[in-house]
Every structure is written in C-alpha cells, then in structure tokens.
Amino acid sequence: MTYAITQTCCNDAACVAVCPVNCIHPTPEEREFGSTEMLHVDPASCIDCGACADACPVDAIFPADSLRGPARDYIALNAAYFDGREPGPAPAGPDLHPWGRPVFARDLPSDFAPLRVAVVGTGPAGMYAAEDLLLHTNAQVTLIDRLPVAGGLVRYGVAPDHPATKKVGDTFARLHDHPRVRMHLGVDVGRDITAEELAAHHDAVVYAVGASADRRIGVPGEDLQGSVPATTFVAWYNTHPEVAADAVDLTSERVVVAGNGNVALDAARVLVGDPVALGTSDTADHALAALRAARVREVVILGRRGPEHAAYTTSELLALRHLSGVDLVVDDHDPRIGAAIDEAAPGGKASLLRGVPREAVDWTAAPGTARRRIVLRFHSAPAEVLGDGAEGGAEARRDGPPTGGGGGFGTTRTEGRGRVRGVRVTGGTQPLDLPAGLFLRAVGYRGLPVPGLPFDEVTGTVPHDAGRVTGRPGTYVVGWIKRGPSGGIGANRTCAAETIGTLIADAVDGRLRAPSPAGTARAFRRLVRRRVRRAVDARGLAAIDRTERARGRDAGRPRVKLGTVPELLAAAKGGRRGT
C-alpha cells in the first residue's frame, strides 16, 4: 500500500522533511518546487510508514486504498508525476535514503542577545515567519494585526467548503500563547502607530500584510453596482468584519466571472453548490441566508486564453467536475477550444476537460430551471459591463460597436447608470452581450502601499533583496507583499525561511538598527494601550475563539464567526473578564 496526496495539499513541505525514503517530490531543494500545483508521493518508493500523513497540517495525505469516489483520481495524479523520471540514487541501506550533514542556516550564535522582532500580519506568511524565528532563534516576537482577530487569509480567504485547508490555522494558533510571543490585535500600523515608532521599539520588523486589493480590469462599467471584486465576494462569505452583510446581491439567474483561477472556481462552486452542505461549515450566516434564497442558476467563467493555459489548478477543476447537482459545460464557441482539449497530452491542463460536455451555448435562452450549471468560456474576456439604462432592456444578442445612443442594453452609457444588467464579452466574430445581474472580477489580487515603506506601483510589492526592504535597515517583507500574489498557503513557508535567513544574517553582521534606549517591550505595550484602548491580546483572542466555537456547537457547525468589530471586541473583553 502507498500513500497519496490529495486536493487540499498546501505545499508547505512538512511531509518532505519527515519522509524516511525521500519519496515526496518536488522537495524545496528541487527546481520544480513552487511551480507545481501540489506535492506527490512516489508509489514505487513509499514504504507506508504514515509519517507524511502525521506531519501534514491540512490533512491532505491518505492511504491510497482508503480513498473513495472522486478522491481516487489522486492515486493516478501522484503516480503520473513520476512517469518518465529518472529514479534517484540507490539508498545506502535497506529502507532509508542517504542523509546529508544537518545544516542550520537560520540559527543565531548561542551567546547572541535575544532579538525583539515585530511581525505585522497574522496570516500564513506572518505566522510562518514567527514560527521560523521561534524555532531557530531566541527572539521575542510581537504579533500585530490591524483586525482584532488573527488568521488573515486562512480565516478570511479559504473557501468554507475546504475545512481541511483551514486546519493549518490550528498549527499557527499554537504560537499565539508561546512564552516568547506578545500579541497586539486591532492595531493598524500607519494609523495607530507609525512604522518609525514600531522600528524604534524592535530590532527588526517583518511586514506580512498580504495583497488585499483587487486588480482592476479597465473596462467601461466596471464600477457599476453589482460589479464586485472577488476579494469582496470571498470576504463576504467568510464573515470579514469590513464587508457588509448586504454587499452581494444574488437575485439574478446568471453570474459572470472574469478570470479562471482558483478564486473564480471557488466563487462558482459557492454560488451554485448546495447551500445545505455549506450549512455545516463556517460560512457567514448572512451568506447562507442569501445563498438559500438565491436565484442563481448559471455561472459563466471567462478565460481570455485557451483551456491549455487555464489558471485554475487540477484539484480545483476536479472538485468542480464532481459537484453534486451541478452540470459543468464548455462553451464550444471557438474551434481552438475543442482542438486544444482533444490534442492535449496526458496530464495537461486541457486534457482535464475530456469528458466534459461541449456545446455551442444558446445565450438567447434563459438559464434552465432543472439543474444549475457552470459554463467555462475560453478565449473570451469582458469588454464592457452593461448597466440598466433608461429603457432597461436585458436581451442577449450580438451586435456591432456600441452606438452611444439613448440608454438600453447595447450602449456604452453605463457609468453611473445604476445596476449591472449584463456583460459584453469577446469571442467569435462579434461581441456577445450576456444578461447578468452580478459580475465578479477574479483577475488577481494586488498589494497596497505600506505607510513608511517604499512601494512599486507596477508590481504592487515592496522592493526588497531576499526579503530585506530596500533602503530600510532592519525592515523586512514576506508573503504576497514581497513576491506578489502567487503561490498558496504553503509557499509562504519557503518565502519566510528566506526572509528570516536574511534577517538573521543581518543580525550576525551587525546590520540591524538597535531600538532606541527607551524602546523597551514594556514601553511598546504602553504605547499601544495609549493609542488603541481596545487592543486584543492572546487571552482576548482565545476568548473570541471560545465564543465562536460555542456558537458553532449550538448550530452543529465548527464555528459561527463574529461578523463585526464591536462583536469581536465584546467577546475578547468578556472572555478576559471571566478569566
């Protein structure tokens, strides 16, 4: 029997480190690491020890013979990765692969004075950085987040029907009450305290603030009501306190999504999936109510290139193919689409669509009522978001260039004219107008400037050298604000290792800027208390967690999240009062 890695693989490589026979690839030392969608177990080498399954933070590894239904696809996916690859060197013993000398590249000398390091952001990148510091140094770590609750992308960015992926949050949570960690949540660096004040109280500061903004498409009508960034939609169904409960309207039968990455597929799955199944997750209460009452019957996913270049991962498309009660269809409007699917090599992106029905969709017909469906429309992009003009008609048709005349569905007079009523898309010989009441923009995330730090407007990142911020001694970046919005949760582990390695090297070389004489840990706590009266510490965070889990138990769910900042602060304060 062998083990297999499945859909929820986060690529953090914890499994690689514990495998005694080096059967999991690519490893962090191999060129392909970071560019593959997931890690793979070699069935010819696996000895069935189960160490990888024990180490996996997201429960993605299982004995192959225990997999059932759609999950069995991953047995072949794991094996296919090793087809045609040269086997590694012969093992030195009967079981174990050769082991090199241990390398401690990120350790401070034993007599080095403890560092005080602030980590701004408590998502995966920030927590991997904190973990690295705690494991490899004697540093005292200050965790800061602008929200009054920790978690970042794990809490507010992972789809609620991926509970195994959310389990990585439990791994990070064990660091919250570490004896060398102090936590200040609800503190906004740049508003409540400046970057200079933070640096004055620490030897080093690591910014892990992510990429919270959406990339714009740049088409007319993009700002109409009902044109919503995917960042907002994801935050809405994940109970983000900065997104209103009524931010998304699901009264339209058709939704158009621009972009075909994993976020787009997550959105489609949530929109047409079974809300009863979501009712056992931590989906926001307001989102559950809206999804139960939703009229959405069809989601159209636009990809500007062909299926061979689709941005989604294999695992997410497989999940879509097996979505209960939902049909998956490829719009066969362009001959290049079918050719790419039929001619794709085994394992290629386009080959995954073999067996998926292809049809020339009749867009003049309303979405059917029998079954919900998701339509993949490749070689097509939004050209204009159409609003409800003076006459307000909504009829799918092909036409020539917009006339600019008196309102209606086929005009360019959409800015400021109310709600979305359709999307004009490219593909074919003429533009096509698709009636729709909701347009989701899922074309990527973008970082925002950090007050006091340099910023590259083109890439949406902070300029750096191996994590060291340009022109700012003692200041570092990690995660998406460092490398851009690429890679999943586990990619932050190797990213953090590089940044913390740079920080430690700078400490040894005397390159860090020492805190001011008055910048003690106690002085920083006093500064935070003066500026932010209701900052949340580790005990307050634990109280929030208890409250949400208790609410979940009452509803038969893992947790019911608190949806507003006042609710979070009240739970934190109430829990502290009871301790």
Q: How far apart are CA 264 and CA 524, in angstroms?
A: 42
Predicted local distance difference test score (pLDDT) of residue 417 = 53
Residues of the chain falling short of pLDDT 70: 87-105, 389-417, 575-579
Predicted local distance difference test score (pLDDT) of residue 95 = 52
What percentage of the chain has pLDDT greater than the value 70?
91
pLDDT digits (tens, 9 = 90+) for 145-168: 999 999 999 999 999 999 999 999
3-class SS letters over 437-483: CEEEECCCEECCCCCCCCCECCCCECCEECCEECCCCCEEECCHHHH
Predicted local distance difference test score (pLDDT) of residue 409 = 25
Alpha-carbon dihedral angle through residues 388, 390, 396, 400, given to the nearest 10 degrees: -110
pLDDT digits (tens, 9 = 90+) for 409-433: 233 333 445 899 999 999 988 899 9
Mean pLDDT over each residue of the chain, to the nearest integer:
90
CA–CA distances in Å: residue 498 to residues 123, 128, 174, 485, 510: 17, 11, 23, 17, 18
Predicted local distance difference test score (pLDDT) of residue 348 = 87
User: Is 0.75 topped by the overall pTM?
Assistant: yes
Predicted local distance difference test score (pLDDT) of residue 312 = 95
Sheet (strand 420-425) strand order: 382-387, 420-425, 432-435
